Amino acid sequence: MNAFMLIALLSMPQAVPAKTIVPTQPELLKDWAAARCIARGVGFDTEGGADASRSAAALLERGDYGADVYETLDRMAARRLTRPQSGSSGGRYVTLTCFDWRRSAELDRVVRSFPFRPTAR
């Protein structure tokens, strides 16, 4: 390597690793609700449903809420899926329905009402 190339390499800005954002407990719970909604909507026995179900299980492991909270949100997801979205290309819009619910004021209000039990990690 010649001196010019070495100087050029050393003068280049260094890549800064991306900052890891640690989600809050309410954010994790809303993510769980969306994953569970998708799993229910597409079917637990499908590839997409199984993936969403595994994702929900992983999010549950990170959560500090009681089982009653997850059961309540699971029932809410089932009810939400009875009001599916529609669009110009026809078919079901399970993912859109669940994403919209994930960002809804309704879910936000319910999630904020749940106490969580912080655990040492």
CATH code, 51: 1.20.120.1620
Look at 106 and 88; give whichever has higher pLDDT.
106
Asked whether residue 46 is assigned to any structural domain, the reply reads: yes
User: pLDDT averaged over the chain?
Assistant: 87
Residue 36 resides in a domain? yes
What pLDDT is stored for residue 88 in this prediction?
85
Mean pLDDT in residue range 26-49: 97
Cα separations in angstroms, 17 against 10, 12, 14, 20, 54: 18, 15, 9, 9, 28
User: Given this model, what pLDDT does residue 85 score?
Assistant: 79
Domain count, the chain: 1
- Asked if the structure places residue 104 within a domain, the reply is yes
- Per-residue model confidence (pLDDT) at position 56: 98
The answer to whether residue 38 sits within a structural domain is yes
Q: Is the pLDDT of residue 2 over 70?
A: no
Q: Is position 92 within any domain?
A: yes
- Angstrom distances, CA of residue 86 to CA of 45, 77, 80, 89, 94: 24, 17, 14, 8, 9
18: in domain: no
Owning domain of residue 28 = 23-113
Q: What is the pLDDT of residue 107?
A: 97
Domain contains 103 = yes
DSSP-based three-state secondary structure for 4: helix
The span from the CA of 44 to the CA of 1, in Å, is 57
Q: Is residue 99 part of a domain?
A: yes
How does residue 83 score in pLDDT terms, banded at 50, 70 and 90?
A: confident
Contacts 24+ apart (CB under 8 A), 55-60: 56/32, 59/28, 59/29, 59/31, 59/32, 59/35, 60/32
